[in-house]
Amino acid sequence: MKIRAASRTLTCPKCGYEFDLTYARTFACGGCPSSAIGCQYARCPKCGHEWPL
């Protein structure tokens, strides 16, 4: 997993898709109540893989 500090860009360790953490929290984590309270996980909006930050 690669994280770029300035843009909060993540790379999914499973499929290699690069995305912004805010984008993922909006679309991939939209139905999860933990996403609004500082979740320590990231979920790929392309493949759905979830991993700890």
Q: pLDDT (tens digit, 9 = 90+) per residue, 16-33? A: 999 998 888 888 887 887
Per-domain boundaries in the chain: 3-52
Closest by Cα among 18, 20, 45, 19 to 32: 45
Share of the chain above pLDDT 70, in %: 83
Six-digit token string for 34: 């933990």
In this structure, the number of other CB atoms found within 10 A of the CB of residue 12 comes to 22
Tokens of 47: 């493949």
Q: What amino acid is encoded at 21 in this protein?
A: L
Cα end-to-end span (Å), the chain = 9
Can you tell me the mean pLDDT for 7-12? 88
> 41: how many CB neighbours lie within 10 A of its CB?
13
Q: What was the pLDDT predicted at 27? A: 83
